[in-house]
Structure 1
Amino acid sequence: MTSSKLRLKYTVFDVFTNTPWAQGNPLAVIQLTKETAKQISQEQKHLIAREFNFSETTFLHDYSDGDTEGHATKRTVDIFTKTKQIPFAGHPTIGTAAYCFNHVFHHDSEGGILIAKAGEIHIRRDRGTGLIGADIPCSNYRVHSQGLGRVERASIVQQHPELQGISESLAHDFPVISIAGGLYFIPVEIELLETMASLRPARPPPDATKVLDEGFSGALGGTMFYHELSSTDDAHRFRVRRMTSIGEEDLATGSAACAFSVWQSQVRSRERPEAGLEKKTIRYEIEQGVEMGRRSEIIVDVTLNDDLRPKKVILSGHAAEVMKGELII
């Protein structure tokens, strides 16, 4: 007698866009009941994530015993890349939040909580615009090795020879930044959009492991190239491309956008102390995936404390539901 197979419902979203099929970063949200959450193994979660082959896949747990079905506004979420489980990622947070507001929370709900390994993430939806927002855990933000550890320009150019001709216009070295454990990013400014368009993924990426702080061993990372499109005191717009540590390019990276936006606020506050920027909430509008043919629009609002540590980081974006189905494992 053969054992019955596990059947799991899933929904796919294009995240950081309200234009389905043509834009955004795909995310699969796998719905777990109390029973299937006990039956599914970590290895099966890895297999499912690899089968979808998206940058991340999430597994959303059922309501807890203390909640009333249909009115529960707190859910646990597991986030998987194709290779490992991670504590936090931005586009899975926005996409999973969209699923919760569409199918889980009461139709009048405007807010809720996702419980990830990085901690509780408060989520909200603007019922007028459909914009999903998430308060991102930022207590673990850092510029690694107290800002002293840097990745040299030569290392970046070696991995991206298309930069050889403009290498002198690059900074001498670059910081390594993180918004949460398990993830790091190397921000590299590019002066011309034409240069941005010429970039290609590189494997392996520049080695940043020597400057990562304690507790970040095994972290996933990569290089985040950016070009500033426009700027005011209260808002900045960037085009970015993020090359991952497995030799791929990411369509849209909310965690990188959050780390980058905090770092930008810190840099600008130090450069212009008289402007009192640390007392303001600064908005960063980030477009990504343009060169890949799938534009994403990411919004990050950053407020700093007086010591320039992040006080509040809000990640926002739209998510378009594009597919539903059932997995049989």
Structure 2
Amino acid sequence: MASGPQTFVTMVVFSPEKFQGNPLALVSVHGNALSQKRKAQIAREFRYSETVFLHDAPGPGQPRLLEIFSETGEELPFAGHPVSPTAREPIFSYLERMHYGGPTDRDTQKQSAVLLTKAGRIPIFFNPYRQVAACVVPFNCHIHSHRVPIEKIITTQPHIQIVPTIDKEKDKTFPLVSIVKGMTFALVDLTDNAEIFGALQAGKSPEVDLDAEWSPSFVGCMYYKVLAKSEQPGEPTIHNIQARMISHGIEDPGSGSACCALACYLALNSANPSLEPRELAEERTDQGSADAELTKRTQDLKLGETKTERKVFGIQQGAEMGRLCTIAVEVDVKTDAQGKASITNVVLSGRANLHLRGEILGF
């Protein structure tokens, strides 16, 4: 990333293996050499799910601007897939290293820096011993008031109507979750329907009803299956999930923002008494039952104090495409004395490796 021509690297994200994971292009930008239109053209030329543009720091110790473009040339406020690998060691040496000192403070061997995105400032980390890159995800997690009925899912996947187990999904609805404003996902739980999960194909996003203040937004469809947990003495329980993210006619092999939206929803789902298992609860008709459950949870907490629990999710994505991604999401959930749960911290991590290096000529 030396001064001079606009240089770039390509890398594989969420996998240590070349030709696996989710490809990404990272372009260095010096001054105002590239217009937004030109960046969109370059992203369409690479045709990766995202291409990012890393700007020079405006001054010593200041964060660098990172802009994210989709393969269609659309600028995105945030995407986890292109942010976390920016902390990869060869690239990290070009960033101003800054102390974060956040909730976890990560590992003692960590290297840290801060990026500036449309979604806000993002601390990033790289652990050279574990070869793991991570970022603290900017979040404003919102569960929309309207759910997505199975009929709208079927319009994007019409072929699943002939799958024998389709009747198991009859009358189901699914939550619609934004991880930040502008990045929204329908979360379709197919844990009990592996046949439908395996039959999915690249297709368009469903038409959804967004809450007014959260529109417009990118909308994707995150299909998932909950797998067996991984439990080892002295280690946090890992909630394993297999997922597929489909939107705008393509399937994404590894979507960090979708994984974060899913992890946040599931973390709240397990912590908040107003949520039913694996489904967003409607208003309870049995108020006495709701009051009894809330009272029990309140008794488990000391009056006036809060409890914070870390949920760790291990998500595999892209296996059906032959580009396996392994994505880790850590979600800190705070439960107050009244039993109300809220998210306080989200960390996305995974491994990555460099693939190609070159220059963009003629600019």
Shift of 1:167: 2.8
For residue 239 of structure 2, the aligned residue among 236, 240, 243 is: 236
Contact persistence 1:27–1:95 (CA under 8 A): no
Contact 2:174 2:189 in 1 (8 A): no
Equivalent residue letter for 2:245: R
Could you say which residue in structure 2 is the equivalent of 1:51? Answer: 45
Alignment of 1:93 onto 2:83: yes
Q: Distance in 1 between matches of 2:27 and 2:225?
A: 35
* Structure 1 unaligned spans of 5+: 1-5
Q: Distance between the aligned counterparts of 1:97 and 1:85, measured in 2?
A: 21
Determine if the alignment matches structure 1 residue 304 to structure 2 residue 302.
no
Q: Which residue of 1 aligns with 2:289?
A: none
| CA–CA separation in structure 2 for the residues paired with 1:78 and 1:308 | 32
Given the alignment, which residue of 256, 261, 267 partners 1:254?
256
3-state SS of 1:96 partner: helix
3-state SS, counterpart of residue 18 of structure 1: coil
Structure 1 residues 102 and 167, CA gap change in structure 2 (3 angstroms): farther
Deviations 1:106-138 (A, max 9, x none): 7x9711101101001011111210111111111
Match of 2:114 in 1: 113
Instruction: Name the % identity.
Output: 30
Which piece of structure 1 moves more, 187-196 or 316-325? 187-196
1:41 to 35, 58, 67: 35
Cα contact 1:141–1:178 (8 A) shared by 2: yes
The 5-angstrom pairing of residues 1-329 of structure 1 reads: 7-20=5-18, 22-34=19-31, 38-65=32-59, 67=60, 72=61, 74-81=63-70, 82-98=72-88, 100-104=91-95, 110-138=111-139, 140-144=140-144, 148-164=145-161, 165-170=164-169, 172-190=172-190, 191-203=192-204, 205-208=205-208, 210-217=209-216, 219-231=217-229, 234-244=237-247, 246-269=248-271, 270=273, 271=276, 274=297, 279-306=308-335, 307-329=340-362
**1:3 aligned partner:** none
Shift of the 39–73 alpha-carbon distance from structure 1 to 2, 3 Å rule, reads closer
CA contact (8 A) 1:176 1:212 kept: no
| Whole-angstrom CA distance in 2 between matches of 1:176 and 1:206 | 11
Structure 2: gaps spanning 5 or more residues: 98-108, 278-292
Deviation at 1:172, TM superposition (A): 1.2
* Counterpart Cα distance in 1 of 2:135 and 2:26: 17
Asked if the contact 1:58/1:78 (under 8 Å) is kept, the reply is yes
Greater shift after overlay, 273-282 or 246-255? 273-282
- Aligned partners of 1:227, 1:215: CA distance in 2, in Å? 27
Structure 2-normalised TM-score?
0.79
CA RMSD across the alignment: 2.3
Deviations 1:28-49 (A, max 9, x none): 1001123xxx131111001000
* 2:40 match: secondary structure: helix
Confirm or deny: 8 A CA contact 1:185 1:222 kept in the other structure. yes
- CA 1:114–1:19 in structure 2 vs 1: closer, same or farther (change >3 Å)? same
SS at match of 1:297: strand
Change (3 A) 1:294 1:188: same
Q: 2:101 is matched with which residue?
A: none
Secondary structure at 2:321's aligned position in 1?
coil
Could you list the per-position Cα deviations for residues 85-126 of structure 1 after superposition, in whole angstroms to 9, with x for gaps in the alignment?
1111001101222253254457x9711101101001011111
Shift of 1:215: 3.8
Contact 1:278 1:308 in 2 (8 A): no
Q: Deviations over 1:57-83 (max 9, x none)?
A: 111011222x0xxxx573211111123
- Output the CA distance in 1 between the equivalents of 2:24 and 2:212: 30
Distance 1:15 1:212 in 2: 32
